[in-house]
Chains A and B, each alone.
Chain A
């Protein structure tokens, strides 16, 4: 019925293959257009699928598995190359291809001067394909394949500017962190196969409730192992350190992969496996707790950074924390809704930041910006839209999605006031850090008068405007999203009304904005004084809680030491020594014997004679 949905995946794959093979041979412009076209077409196919899906009754929208062919058939183990079409996967398709398309268009201009233009678009297409495979997979096997592919695409794109050492190191770090998650996922998949004898979502999810009691040990183990992958991909504590570093990549990459789509894969995974998670409430509490802690923790780090992209990166971590909080307390569709609004306004913020960086000729330090509202009026507006959405100012999309989560964190069955308090605190921080960047960047006078910022051309502005529009209005689709995703999660999430809590949460966000304003207005001397007074805290935050240093001390250094030990002691003094000694000894022994071969013919003759006589003697007389 939805067999043509395969085209959603195949088009970007074709784009990737085509651009990889022919990218150097076709003109630069065409390469970029080709990259955009495949994703655009993919988006159109997704819209068609959506239309057809909406034409069905809600309960008939689930579980459309489209099999291309059977890939493995080995004994009882069967594996189909199949995709799953249901509201959740189509919802993700829309975000990935829609936001992906806008960012492709934006990149046409942003990467214009890069000599490896076609390689960039090839990688972007590869990423879109991998992400679609991840969300479309109908079994855990292809989920992991897609999961690993997005890790690869992320690695390639973070390290896209390969002549920059910091970019290459950041790419490596991201890859290693993600592989830690992959290992957890693979073990989880093996355990699932062991217990259910199948990897297909359909089989596993229908068998799980009958086969396991709530909080069964095996189920806790499986869900926690899946979570290792989810946390690594979605940059949750303690596997978060790669995300801020990933900002070394080009800005469209940060917007697409490290804000809008890939990092949300963890949230998608929990939502997709909600059947398993509902059987493991302990794990759910764990998710909610980690999510809430990450939301605050990332917020505090974001408050003191000066790199415009890094602040937004910490904000991404913080918002992902919200999403995990939502799925952790069981309101999956609110988590997915926040995922969508976040994809819009965070992509918008990143692209606006990219526009600023573009206009400032590569400058990323907000201390050197200022007063850009005159030079870049359009970017100013779009950034402001993104900022108010992120801060949750009423009637923007961020408001609706975040309020729903904050309300549920108190009122939902698994919610409590601790989660609520943490969520509200994080909301206050959100308002503070994003408006700190806003004030630094766009208000006041320019701090580096020698640069002449310029507004970005139309082709970069158009995606900004579309995203700004979506960020503003998509909040009103909350009810529709809830209805659409409801069948997947068994029931629509209950929307709690509580005027007091709502007011407090809104005030927290606005308070954050106000604080940012006050801090910004305060003269530099007083700020310095405050910085001195709070020096220990400030240093702790500015150095990101020294987590990189701690990991370096606890993991990287010991591993290096072990490596050095093996290289020196085991390899050189062990294996090499044995091999060399065997060779040397054989040579020494040969040298001892070789004098028999004197080269003297008469000696040989005498030896022969003596030998013959001896043999004859024995034969004849004995």
Chain B
């Protein structure tokens, strides 16, 4: 077991996140899928950080987590507002910005 393990886990989580984002219609779930993708990357960074004996990856993972937290705040706020105005949450119906 070497770094392939980290790679496989990370790729799997990323694919689950991507599939979730593409398949699900609930924006809340989609947001969670995005988190999953981000965290797969974090996992990769932390894994390789310990593997290569440097702290760069861990610091970078911390930064990503901070950004993700901020992003979730904004995303949730938007979702909340959409729900308040439209009383439903289905991304396929949220398409008023089409050309």
Q: Which residues in A have some Cβ–Cβ distance to B below 8 Å? A: 593-602, 605-606, 609
Interface 1/0 per residue, B73-99 and A, CB below 8 Å: 000000000000000000110111111
> When A602-B91, A602-B92 are in contact, do A597 and B98 touch as well, CB less than 8 Å?
yes
Q: How far is the CA of A599 from the CA of B97 in the complex (A)?
A: 5
Q: How far is the CA of A597 from the CA of B95 in the complex (A)?
A: 10
Question: Does B21 make an interface contact (CB < 8 A)?
Answer: yes
Nearest residue (CB) in A for B23 is A602
Q: How many Å from the CB of A603 to the closest CB on chain B? A: 9
Question: Does B1 make an interface contact (CB < 8 A)?
Answer: no
> When A601-B91, A601-B94, A602-B91 are in contact, do A594 and B22 touch as well, CB less than 8 Å?
no
The listed residue (B21, B30, B96) touching A599 by CB distance below 8 A is B96
Contacting residues, chain B, for A602 (C-beta < 8 A): 21-22, 25, 91-92
Indicate if the CB atoms of A605 and B21 lie closer than 8 Å: yes
Counting chain B residues whose Cβ lies within 8 A of the other chain, the interface size class is: 10 to 19
Q: How many Å from the CB of B88 to the closest CB on chain A? A: 15
Question: Does B49 make an interface contact (CB < 8 A)?
Answer: no
Indicate if the CB atoms of A600 and B98 lie closer than 8 Å: yes
Indicate if the CB atoms of B94 and A594 lie closer than 8 Å: no
The count of A-to-B residue pairs whose CB atoms sit within 8 angstroms is 35
Question: Does B58 make an interface contact (CB < 8 A)?
Answer: no
Contacting residues, chain A, for B27 (C-beta < 8 A): 601
Query: In chain B between 20 and 78, which residues have their CB closer than 8 angstroms to a CB of chain A?
Result: 21-22, 25, 27, 30
Indicate if the CB atoms of B95 and A605 lie closer than 8 Å: no
Q: How far is the CA of A598 from the CA of B99 in the complex (A)?
A: 6
Q: How many Å from the CB of A501 to the closest CB on chain B? A: 97
Indicate if the CB atoms of B22 and A597 lie closer than 8 Å: no
New A-B pairs, 20, CB < 8 Å, besides A600-B92, A600-B95: A593-B99, A594-B99, A596-B99, A598-B98, A598-B99, A599-B94, A599-B95, A599-B96, A599-B97, A599-B98, A599-B99, A600-B91, A600-B98, A601-B95, A602-B21, A602-B25, A602-B92, A605-B21, A605-B22, A606-B22
Contacting residues, chain B, for A609 (C-beta < 8 A): 18, 22
Q: How far is the CA of A605 from the CA of B31 in the complex (A)?
A: 13
Q: How far is the CA of A597 from the CA of B99 in the complex (A)?
A: 5
Nearest residue (CB) in A for B18 is A609
The 9 closest A-B pairs by CB, nearest first: A599-B98, A594-B99, A599-B95, A597-B99, A601-B91, A599-B97, A598-B98, A600-B95, A605-B21
Nearest residue (CB) in B for A593 is B99
Q: How many Å from the CB of A381 to the closest CB on chain B? A: 92
16 contacts between A and B (CB under 8 A): A594-B99, A595-B99, A597-B97, A597-B98, A597-B99, A598-B95, A598-B98, A599-B95, A599-B96, A600-B91, A600-B95, A601-B91, A605-B21, A605-B22, A609-B18, A609-B22
Q: How many Å from the CB of A383 to the closest CB on chain B? A: 86
**Counting chain B CB atoms within 10 Å of each CB, which of A593, A597, A599 scores highest?**
A599
Q: How far is the CA of A602 from the CA of B95 in the complex (A)?
A: 10
Q: How far is the CA of A498 from the CA of B99 in the complex (A)?
A: 101
Q: How far is the CA of A609 from the CA of B21 in the complex (A)?
A: 11
Contacting residues, chain B, for A605 (C-beta < 8 A): 21-22
Q: How far is the CA of A609 from the CA of B20 in the complex (A)?
A: 13
Nearest residue (CB) in B for A598 is B98
Q: How far is the CA of A598 from the CA of B97 in the complex (A)?
A: 8
Q: How far is the CA of A602 from the CA of B99 in the complex (A)?
A: 16
Q: How many Å from the CB of B97 to the closest CB on chain A? A: 5
Contacting residues, chain B, for A594 (C-beta < 8 A): 99
Contacting residues, chain A, for B96 (C-beta < 8 A): 599
Contacting residues, chain A, for B95 (C-beta < 8 A): 598-601
Q: How many Å from the CB of A476 to the closest CB on chain B? A: 96
Contacting residues, chain B, for A599 (C-beta < 8 A): 94-99
Q: How far is the CA of A422 from the CA of B25 in the complex (A)?
A: 107
Q: How many Å from the CB of B92 to the closest CB on chain A? A: 7
Contacting residues, chain A, for B21 (C-beta < 8 A): 602, 605
Q: How far is the CA of A398 from the CA of B83 in the complex (A)?
A: 104
Contacting residues, chain B, for A606 (C-beta < 8 A): 22
Nearest residue (CB) in B for A595 is B99
Contacting residues, chain A, for B91 (C-beta < 8 A): 600-602
Q: How many Å from the CB of B20 to the closest CB on chain A? A: 11
Q: How far is the CA of A609 from the CA of B23 in the complex (A)?
A: 13
Q: How far is the CA of A374 from the CA of B91 in the complex (A)?
A: 105
Nearest residue (CB) in A for B19 is A609
Q: How many Å from the CB of B40 to the closest CB on chain A? A: 14
Nearest residue (CB) in A for B33 is A605
Nearest residue (CB) in A for B21 is A605
Nearest residue (CB) in B for A596 is B99
**Counting chain B CB atoms within 10 Å of each CB, which of A595, A598, A602, A606 scores highest?**
A602
Q: How far is the CA of A326 from the CA of B96 in the complex (A)?
A: 89
Nearest residue (CB) in B for A612 is B18
Q: How far is the CA of A599 from the CA of B91 in the complex (A)?
A: 10
Q: How far is the CA of A601 from the CA of B92 in the complex (A)?
A: 7
Q: How far is the CA of A271 from the CA of B55 in the complex (A)?
A: 104
Q: How far is the CA of A609 from the CA of B97 in the complex (A)?
A: 21
Contacting residues, chain B, for A600 (C-beta < 8 A): 91-92, 95, 98
Contacting residues, chain B, for A598 (C-beta < 8 A): 95, 98-99
Q: How many Å from the CB of B37 to the closest CB on chain A? A: 11
Q: How far is the CA of A605 from the CA of B21 in the complex (A)?
A: 8
Q: How many Å from the CB of A168 to the closest CB on chain B? A: 56
Contacting residues, chain A, for B25 (C-beta < 8 A): 602
Q: How many Å from the CB of B95 to the closest CB on chain A? A: 3
Contacting residues, chain B, for A596 (C-beta < 8 A): 99
Nearest residue (CB) in A for B91 is A601
Contacting residues, chain A, for B30 (C-beta < 8 A): 601
Contacting residues, chain A, for B18 (C-beta < 8 A): 609
Q: How far is the CA of A601 from the CA of B18 in the complex (A)?
A: 13
Nearest residue (CB) in A for B34 is A605
Contacting residues, chain A, for B98 (C-beta < 8 A): 597-600
